[in-house]
Amino acid sequence: MAGPVRRITILGATGSIGSNTLDVIARHPECYEVVALTGSSQLDKLADACERHRPRYAAVLDESAAERLSGLLRARGVETEVLAGGDALIRVATLPEVDTVMAAIVGSAGMPATLAAACAGKRVLLANKETLVLAGQLFMDAVRASGAELLPIDSEHNAIFQSLPAAFREQPYAMSLQDAGIAKIILTASGGPFRQRDLASLAAVTPEEAVRHPNWSMGRKISVDSASMMNKGLEVIEARWLFNAPADAIEVVVHPQSVIHSMVECVDGSVLAQLGSPDMRIPIAYGLAYPLRVATGAKRLNLAEIGRLDFEAPDLQRFPCLALAYEALRAGGAATAVLNAANEVAVAAFLESRLRFTDIPRVIAETLALPCDCDAASIESLLLADAWAREQAGALVDRLPC
């Protein structure tokens, strides 16, 4: 690929998206230079990545993790400088020598550094959808004000970005959907592992069953979100902000094969889609190389082998989380921040076997129904809403039987 060498920070380098990003980068060493990597708990994996990619910095969450990582790196003769704490994440997201930041931390914990990268005018490769669910308006305002280049990595939003008219991509995020000639965004959803499971047995599903996604290999939190379809709900909110689309113009269709990654319906009745193997290296490479293309190692699509593509409407009785996300989006203000925080608490409790799968939407609905004083006018206020909702949802989890 011709073009300047891109200098990259990967926030959340040890996760599923982070590892896939490093995989794409390793295929094109002449195009990319890794400047900084961050991680939280998997320090051995972070040390492996530092040894392989020799970044200038590695950032972890606290001093004790920093000491352990420094020890691992010293033993391998790696000279990466180790930084610690939330400020360190922001520092590596805004380094002057970095032009591209992959935002791949899971949960709202990723928001401050992702927002900092946007404020610093970086090319932001956005996997951390929770940033937009928590602070969509403020984040998009920051992108517009700084001139940051925002490229969606979530496969559905990446598919939509690829399918939108060139005029939208040339002046991204300045145009409304309507101005771009788009009537509707159609997000596809696999339906996850429980699409056809007997409804009565859903209360007893285990974390291991919930994280076993039929098509995609992902981190545990997003895998549970996919099983409850909250992932699609978060993606509806993500699409609202990325594409300046009202809730009514965002539709979800279940497509179990995960071959069509999403579609746009134009005002003239044309429907445009992006297809590919369910492999996150494809949208990641799109973001890294944009506007060019690079090879990814992903399996090529063989439509004859796939044979058929199926579609069905989402079943909101089976997947109440999707309806809750639309409700929070329509309610506006801090409601989506509350939805996101309550979901993070409920999913973490489910993964620790402290909450039944079917009580995830119950915790979220009950938290959303409580009066919350916070608005969406500032990041401080949204973070207060996030903290408040975590407390309320935590108390609800403690009260429910498991």
Shorter beta-carbon distance to ligand NAD: residue 90 or 334? 90
- CB-CB contact of 323 with 333 (8 Å): no
Per CB under 6 A, contacts with ligand NAD among 98-117 are: 104-106, 109
Shorter beta-carbon distance to ligand NAD: residue 195 or 221? 221
Which of the listed partners (Mg ion, ligand NAD, none) does 215 bind, with a CB threshold of 5 to 8 Å by partner kind? none
- CB-CB contact of 100 with 288 (8 Å): yes
Shorter beta-carbon distance to ligand NAD: residue 169 or 220? 220
Per CB under 6 A, contacts with ligand NAD among 206-235 are: 216, 218-219, 221-222
Classify residue 61 as left (phi > 0), alpha (psi -120 to 50) or beta.
alpha
Which of the listed partners (ligand NAD, Mg ion, none) does 12 bind, with a CB threshold of 5 to 8 Å by partner kind? ligand NAD
Handedness of CA 28, 34, 39, 44 (dihedral sign): positive
154 binds Mg ion (CB under 5 A): yes
CA distances from 246 to 76, 187, 262 (A): 52, 14, 17
For residue 312, the cross-strand partners are: 254
Q: What is the DSSP letter of 355?
A: S
Which of the listed partners (ligand NAD, Mg ion, none) does 152 bind, with a CB threshold of 5 to 8 Å by partner kind? none
Which of the listed partners (ligand NAD, Mg ion, none) does 195 bind, with a CB threshold of 5 to 8 Å by partner kind? none
149 binds Mg ion (CB under 5 A): no
Shorter beta-carbon distance to Mg ion: residue 108 or 188? 188
Closest distance to ligand NAD from the beta carbon of 109 (Å): 3
Cis peptide before 291 (omega within 30 of 0): yes
CB burial class (10 A; 0-12, 13-18, 19+) of residue 269?
exposed
Shorter beta-carbon distance to ligand NAD: residue 109 or 175? 109
What x-and-dash track marks residues 119-138 binding ligand NAD by CB under 6 A?
--------xxxx--------
SS3 380: helix
239 binds ligand NAD (CB under 6 A): no
Shorter beta-carbon distance to ligand NAD: residue 40 or 277? 40
Phi, psi (deg, nearest 5) at residue 111: -65, -50
- The Cα–Cα gap between 161 and 187 comes to 12
Size of the site for ligand NAD (CB under 6 A): 26
Read off the amino acid at residue 90. Answer: I
Closest distance to ligand NAD from the beta carbon of 121 (Å): 22
